[in-house]
């Protein structure tokens, strides 16, 4: 287990991974992925959006040839074992491929990982080489018409044959990504209607069919169909893991999937900002460029600041998971044990990234004005495509309850360690400490007043989660910026400092207001309200000037930028 917990301990800058820590291998991988997107995917994107799936299948094979599918798969299983940071880089850049990125993400994440992490050696030998090469497309079949986020209530049933060599599966799976052209499905069913179990089901098994394509709000170039299983005979050897332990596979794979969605959402957010800034630098109103209007600058500054925080969180988490996987090899721990350590961080990433994306792309449409509503503009497509991300891999509401429930279960009345805040970001560190105190005070009140039944007290769970997300994000931007300050001049990291200050103050104010609004319900004492008020009142900076300065740098670069020279 990890020695430090961000809710109890003060982390040091050198203890986290940041985008400034990318090494040459990361940069080369980013370059390879970007070239694949620009030279291969973008020329075919129009056909993909019209559901000419032969283009998607062709590109998946090319991605396999480049090693993009196998990047974070263990070397002993045929992967490149490049780690979770590399996987996040690929997911971020692949997002530029819009609908294609959904097919790719389904393949590399929830499609391949159940077999790679939990499959038998025989299953790996049969399926993984072709999946990693892009020659076999994988799909993940969990959701059903009557069970969306409530996965354990699935109705698909598996019954063992009298000879004991195969199971008969019956049921319907809904909204299955890649289903039109998938060669293999990871299907979850209940053995005898009781034991939640994972199966590998090939498309050519008798009784396997798919419905027509769903008509969706966005991501028109991805395949989404129902999977119908009608007396499908599945070999007993195709069970992944153990009978009755399918939930271990499903939930742990979804944790990694949430982090991949977060990275993909980051990539789309950066693209949305880039489109907005370029448009603002071209469009004139009242004889002036849009980018010269201060309310437009206000939007651009907020968009870029949220992206900086999002990027900091995603790569901090990627680095932590990568370290966990490296330790797993030394200790001999299982994938499930290792992944389970990061359930809270993965859900934080998913919630934060998808909500920031929706904010950024909405503001990008607003900056475009009427043109942003027109289908021929890319930003209109991004707006429609982005909305599903808050629903994918467990809705954000369910992820909020998951975070709060997990933390309350793990909570120990440990002494919170406090360091004296000093240095350039002293005020910001003090606000971070104040927010951690607010979190511990909230947990105390929840326990003291028996408000821990989060299926009922969902508002309390959501508040706890919002505080936790804010703590993790604020700490991430502070640590990242402090780490940069140590290796560069203050002038060279001015943009990072500005991002950090703006994010810390605006986030603290929002949490302070939410705390005041919930204080009566959790029957908090006066000290709680005082802590909340201090988060709102403490703002020593001129926020208007800060935002204008941030925006001017982004406008000059015509893209999101956090350092002197962008890596990708």
Distance CA 62, CA 105 (A): 15
Nearest CA among 77, 75, 74, 43 for reference residue 58: 43
Could you give the 3-state DSSP secondary structure of residue 160?
strand
Distance CA 169, CA 195 (A): 13
The CA–CA distances, whole Å, from 121 to 344, 374, 493, 532 equal 30, 51, 49, 54
Residue with tokens 């500054």: 301
Distance CA 308, CA 473 (A): 10
Nearest CA among 324, 227, 301, 337 for reference residue 503: 301
Rounded-to-5 percentages of helix, strand, coil across the chain: 60, 10, 30
Distance CA 531, CA 64 (A): 53
Nearest CA among 201, 212, 141 for reference residue 172: 141
Residues 6+ apart with CB under 8 A from 293: 285
Answer for the pair 542, 512: CB distance below 8 angstroms, yes or no.
Answer: no
Phi, psi values for residue 144, rounded to 5°: -130, 165
Active site residue 282: no
Structure tokens at 470: 């804010």
Helices (H) and strands (E) in the chain, counts: 18, 10
Structure tokens at 253: 């794979």
The enclosing H or E element of 219 equals: none
Could you give the 3-state DSSP secondary structure of residue 52?
coil
Distance CA 52, CA 226 (A): 19
Structure tokens at 206: 């008798």
Residue with tokens 């030279």: 39
The CA–CA distances, whole Å, from 396 to 121, 367, 391 equal 35, 27, 7
Distance CA 526, CA 531 (A): 9
DSSP string covering 351-414 = HHHHHHHHHHHHHHHHHHGGGGGSTTSHHHHHHHHHGGGGTTTS-HHHHHHHHHHHHHHH---P
DSSP string covering 144-158 = BTTBSS-GGG---EE
Among 311, 393, 428, 475, the active-site one is: 393
Positions marked active-site: 393
């Amino acid at each position: 287990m990890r020695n430090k917990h961000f809710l109890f301990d003060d982390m040091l800058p050198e203890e986290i991974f940041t985008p400034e820590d990318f090494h040459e291998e990361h940069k080369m991988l980013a370059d390879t992925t970007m070239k694949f997107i620009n030279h291969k995917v973008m020329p075919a994107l129009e056909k993909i959006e019209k559901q000419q799936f032969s283009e998607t299948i062709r590109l998946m094979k090319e991605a396999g040839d480049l090693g993009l599918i196998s990047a974070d798969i263990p070397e002993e299983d045929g992967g490149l074992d490049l780690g979770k940071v590399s996987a996040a880089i690929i997911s971020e850049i692949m997002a530029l491929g819009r609908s294609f990125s959904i097919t790719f993400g389904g393949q590399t994440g929830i499609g391949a990982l159940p077999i790679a992490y939990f499959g038998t050696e025989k299953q790996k030998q049969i399926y993984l080489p072709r999946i990693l090469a892009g020659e076999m497309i994988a799909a993940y079949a969990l959701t059903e018409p009557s069970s969306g986020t409530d996965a354990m209530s699935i109705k698909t049933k598996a019954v063992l044959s009298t000879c004991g060599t195969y199971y008969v599966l019956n049921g319907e799976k809904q909204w299955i990504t890649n289903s039109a052209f998938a060669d293999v499905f990871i299907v979850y069913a209940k053995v005898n209607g009781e034991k939640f179990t994972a199966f590998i089901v090939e498309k050519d098994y008798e009784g396997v069919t798919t419905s027509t394509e769903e008509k969706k709000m966005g991501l028109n170039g991805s395949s989404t169909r129902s999977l119908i299983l009608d007396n499908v005979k599945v070999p007993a050897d195709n069970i992944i893991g153990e009978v009755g332990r399918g939930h271990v596979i499903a939930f742990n794979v979804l944790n990694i999937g949430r982090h991949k969605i977060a990275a993909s959402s980051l990539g789309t957010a950066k693209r949305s900002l880039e489109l907005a800034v370029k448009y603002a630098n071209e469009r004139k109103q009242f004889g002036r460029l849009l980018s010269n209007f201060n309310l437009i600058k206000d939007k651009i500054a907020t968009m870029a600041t949220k992206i900086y925080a999002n990027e900091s969180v995603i790569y901090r988490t990627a680095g932590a998971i990568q370290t966990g996987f490296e330790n797993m090899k030394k200790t001999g721990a299982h994938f499930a044990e290792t992944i389970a350590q990061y359930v809270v961080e993965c859900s934080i990433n998913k919630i934060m990234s998808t909500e920031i994306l929706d904010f950024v792309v909405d503001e990008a449409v607003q900056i475009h004005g009427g043109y942003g509503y027109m289908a021929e503009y890319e930003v209109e497509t991004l707006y429609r495509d982005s909305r599903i991300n808050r629903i994918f891999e467990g809705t954000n509401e369910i992820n909020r309850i998951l975070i709060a429930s997990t933390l309350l279960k793990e909570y120990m009345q440990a002494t919170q360690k406090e360091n004296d805040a000093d240095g350039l970001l002293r005020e910001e560190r003090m606000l971070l400490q104040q927010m951690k105190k607010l979190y511990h005070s909230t947990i105390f009140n929840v326990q003291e007043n028996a408000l821990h039944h989060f299926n009922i007290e969902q508002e309390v769970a959501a508040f706890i989660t919002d505080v936790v997300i804010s703590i993790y994000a604020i700490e991430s931007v502070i640590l990242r910026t402090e780490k940069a300050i140590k290796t560069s001049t203050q002038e060279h990291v001015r943009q990072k400092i500005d991002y950090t200050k703006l994010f810390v103050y605006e986030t603290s104010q929002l949490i302070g207001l939410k705390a005041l609004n919930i204080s009566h319900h959790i029957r908090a004492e006066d000290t709680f309200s005082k802590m909340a008020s201090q988060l709102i009142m403490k703002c020593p900076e001129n926020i208007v000037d800060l935002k204008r300065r941030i925006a001017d740098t982004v406008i000059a670069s015509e893209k999101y930028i956090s350092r002197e020279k962008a890596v990708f």
